[in-house]
Structure 1
Amino acid sequence: MTSYLTRRACGTLARTIPRRLALGPALSVQQRRPIHLTPVVHKKKSKAAAYDDLFSDDTLVEEDLIKDASKESTVNPQTGESEPASAPSTSASTTEVSGSSSKKAKLTAAARKERFESQIKYIEPRLGRSPAVKNPRIKRRALFTLTQLASSEDELRRVAELLPKYREAQREVMPYFAEAFVRRCQELRCPPLALSVFGNFARYNLPLTQPAAQWLVHSLYVLYPLDQLMVATALFPVYNLPPISEDLPTASMVAAACYKHATPPSLKLAEGLKPFINAMLREKGVTLETAQDLQGRKKKKWIAWSLHKANKAAERHSGKPFVTPKFIPAGFRARVEQPTVNP
């Protein structure tokens, strides 16, 4: 039975999708009431559904959902700093992977753990209103490096708990950190942790960017309950992000998840998104050639895969496709593999 929260979230989104297109900028995050998530964020998915596909009769799942988890971070032996497997695209200062990346040594699990503990012990006494270390110096990429070194949900949680101390010390958190944190949560199979962090701005003071929000939806929409996905979409207006009816990757993933669960409220929400998705497809299209960068092509795949699934379900449900099939290129699927974490 659909939970009360899911019914409310679906109903609210379905009612407000047309209205949001006409709304001006919303209040800033600082002007809004602090948000605290309900226990649904911490709800565990059942073992039987852990590796379920979007639809039970298909043994295929989106390629990008399972391949990122097997990527390993590397460490530059000259600088000692952790480098991400793929750099976030949200900042111009992001490091590009060069031809010399093959020379970077991969950390063993023990070395990674030691490096993580060493860096977090260095940072902690240098944060807060009254740091224990006078004239503290912390690298701007410190949080990013810790996130890449983290190899478990507990370690990522420790990184998140540094954020309130950053605010107390009036230190800047790099703009691309939000996306990096969400992606690492997905790699370590703990996206509810990211949901908790962004759902409590009063404590963590970490703004949710649009790329981070898209990755958050992507990390939840296949393997986690619809309740949690609805909580994630409810954060868009809170952080003054474009509504999902104007965000093609997010709208496509939400529609696919709604058809997966196939409850009356979720189907109503999918139908509410349908005209907006079709309009965006006619305007933008989803051909991979239109994306010049890797992240852009990746999100095109999200769109194609999600709408392919939504079309299959809509045809079974009503005999008509969800969107015009000509907009959906084929070939964006891979066999289901158990996500692995090999940091």
Structure 2
Amino acid sequence: MASLFSLGSRPQALFRLASTANRSVCRRNFYLTAVVQQARDDDLFSSATPSETLVSDSSKSTTVPKAKLQDAAARREQQFNELVQYVTNRTGRKRAVKAGQVRQSAWLRLFQLANSSEQLEMVAEMFPRWRDSGKEFRSIHAEDFIRRCEELKCPTLALKVFGDHSKYGLGLSSLFAARHMLHSVYDKRPLSDSMTVAALFGVYKLPPVSSDLAACAMLYVACLKDNSSNARVVGKALYEELQNRVQDKPPVKAPQESTIRARYTEKPNIWLSDALKTIEKVHKKTGKEWRWIRYWTTEREWRPRNTFTPIQPATAAEHA
């Protein structure tokens, strides 16, 4: 079963498992009128209520930020549409506008401007035009696209795009991107989505999913959350691999400072830590062995499992 995760040679195995496993203040700033102010001066316990003018002033203070937000959203929408049009006119086999070049950064800008899953899908449908222009996407595009899919809660869009490279031309070209893609589906999506991502590790010639601690832990959690026979079979193989790797390596602690945790490069350690804590919790609940994870989930000092303190022979005084 362990060979199942050598995905470079057998990605189709996980695709079959995937198909069987699946079946988405206002600050109240009342400006008192002269009459109310006088009443307040005369009687500190006055029950006088603000006039209609005061209520109107208060409502104005709440609409100002809302108007600013609406203006910002409108500007963002306009920028998105203009950039979509710009890229569309200057890419493809037959360019409508031959002057000017589309930079690589234009795609990153489009990902950020997209404010809904529908807009991000619109951008994805433009990917073939980039390939038809003789251009290639880079790893940063894959990583940014997956991150935006997760933020806009449409991870299945990433599955569709990376599962059809012949159409979209955006490859899962880095282990970081593949890890992030797995993170976006393993906890809340069906097991089949996680298995599809695991299969894509092999399709794109990345290291097997079981060889990466973070990916292995997340996929194992996905199996624990599923109650199918396929999940138990895959989970058993992952469990053995994960346990060996965790016991043989010193723990990697996720950062605690919010400024460091926000760094994109720190995310894999955070994902690994969260997955291991979930595994420990589930194992405790189900009665499965969990102490092998404790070095990673607590502050206990780690020691390789093959080290031990030999028992010294008892002295004569002890025998006496």
Q: Verify the 8 A CA contact 1:307 1:322 in the aligned structure 2.
A: no
Q: Verify the 8 A CA contact 1:221 1:254 in the aligned structure 2.
A: yes
Q: Of 277, 290, 301, which aligns to 1:321?
A: 290
Whether 2:136 is the aligned partner of 1:172: answer yes
The alignment's TM-score, normalised by the length of structure 2, stands at 0.68
Once residues 322 and 217 of structure 1 are traced to their aligned partners in structure 2, the CA distance between those partners, rounded to angstroms, is: 26
Once residues 44 and 142 of structure 1 are traced to their aligned partners in structure 2, the CA distance between those partners, rounded to angstroms, is: 38
AA matched with 2:168: Y
Q: Verify the 8 A CA contact 2:214 2:269 in the aligned structure 1.
A: yes
Whether 2:4 is the aligned partner of 1:16: answer yes
Whether 2:276 is the aligned partner of 1:307: answer yes
Q: Of 55, 70, 86, which aligns to 1:122?
A: 86
Distance 1:159 1:312, change over 3 A: same
CA displacement 1:10-46 (0-9 Å, x = unmatched)? xxx75523xx2xx9x769xxxx99xx99x97xx893x
Once residues 286 and 79 of structure 2 are traced to their aligned partners in structure 1, the CA distance between those partners, rounded to angstroms, is: 53
Q: CA deviation at 1:296?
A: 4.2
Once residues 239 and 145 of structure 2 are traced to their aligned partners in structure 1, the CA distance between those partners, rounded to angstroms, is: 31
With a CA cutoff of 8 Å and minimum separation of 6, indicate the structure with the bigger relative contact order.
1
Q: Of 257, 267, 274, which aligns to 2:232?
A: 267
Give the equivalent residue in structure 2 for 1:283. 249
Whether 2:117 is the aligned partner of 1:153: answer yes
Give the equivalent residue in structure 2 for 1:337. none
Give the equivalent residue in structure 2 for 1:195. 159
- Residue 93 of structure 2 aligns to a residue whose secondary structure is coil
AA matched with 1:137: Q
- Residue 240 of structure 1 aligns to a residue whose secondary structure is coil
Q: CA deviation at 1:164?
A: 0.6
Once residues 219 and 291 of structure 2 are traced to their aligned partners in structure 1, the CA distance between those partners, rounded to angstroms, is: 13
Q: Verify the 8 A CA contact 1:286 1:328 in the aligned structure 2.
A: no
Q: CA deviation at 1:123?
A: 1.1
Q: Verify the 8 A CA contact 1:311 1:321 in the aligned structure 2.
A: yes
Distance 1:303 1:170, change over 3 A: same
CA displacement 1:41-75 (0-9 Å, x = unmatched)? xx893xxxxxxxxxxxxxxxxxxxxxxxxxxxxxx
Once residues 134 and 305 of structure 1 are traced to their aligned partners in structure 2, the CA distance between those partners, rounded to angstroms, is: 50
Q: Verify the 8 A CA contact 1:259 1:266 in the aligned structure 2.
A: yes
Give the equivalent residue in structure 1 for 2:204. 239
Q: CA deviation at 1:156?
A: 0.6
Whether 2:249 is the aligned partner of 1:298: answer no
Q: Verify the 8 A CA contact 2:91 2:102 in the aligned structure 1.
A: no
AA matched with 1:278: Q
Give the equivalent residue in structure 2 for 1:253. 218
Once residues 97 and 197 of structure 2 are traced to their aligned partners in structure 1, the CA distance between those partners, rounded to angstroms, is: 38
After TM superposition, the runs of 4+ consecutive aligned structure 1 residues lying more than 6 A away are: none
Identity score, percent: 30
Instruction: Name the stretch that deviates more: 230-239 or 172-181.
Output: 172-181
Q: CA deviation at 1:115?
A: 0.5
AA matched with 2:88: E
Q: Verify the 8 A CA contact 2:186 2:219 in the aligned structure 1.
A: yes
Whether 2:188 is the aligned partner of 1:223: answer yes
- Residue 324 of structure 1 aligns to a residue whose secondary structure is helix
C-alpha RMSD over aligned residues: 3.3
AA matched with 1:232: V
Distance 1:135 1:171, change over 3 A: farther
Once residues 205 and 172 of structure 1 are traced to their aligned partners in structure 2, the CA distance between those partners, rounded to angstroms, is: 8
Task: Look at both structures and tell me which one has the larger radius of gyration over its CA atoms.
Answer: 2
Q: Of 134, 146, 168, which aligns to 1:204?
A: 168
Q: Verify the 8 A CA contact 2:254 2:273 in the aligned structure 1.
A: no
Say which structure is richer in helix: 2
Give the equivalent residue in structure 2 for 1:96. none
Q: Verify the 8 A CA contact 2:91 2:130 in the aligned structure 1.
A: yes
Unaligned runs of 5+ in 2: 25-68, 300-320
Whether 2:79 is the aligned partner of 1:110: answer no
- Residue 77 of structure 2 aligns to a residue whose secondary structure is helix
Q: CA deviation at 1:161?
A: 1.2
Q: CA deviation at 1:140?
A: 1.9
The alignment's TM-score, normalised by the length of structure 1, stands at 0.64
Q: Verify the 8 A CA contact 1:125 1:131 in the aligned structure 2.
A: yes
AA matched with 1:270: G
Distance 1:261 1:140, change over 3 A: same
Instruction: Name the stretch that deviates more: 251-260 or 190-199.
Output: 251-260
Distance 1:184 1:170, change over 3 A: same
Once residues 322 and 15 of structure 1 are traced to their aligned partners in structure 2, the CA distance between those partners, rounded to angstroms, is: 27
Distance 1:183 1:314, change over 3 A: same
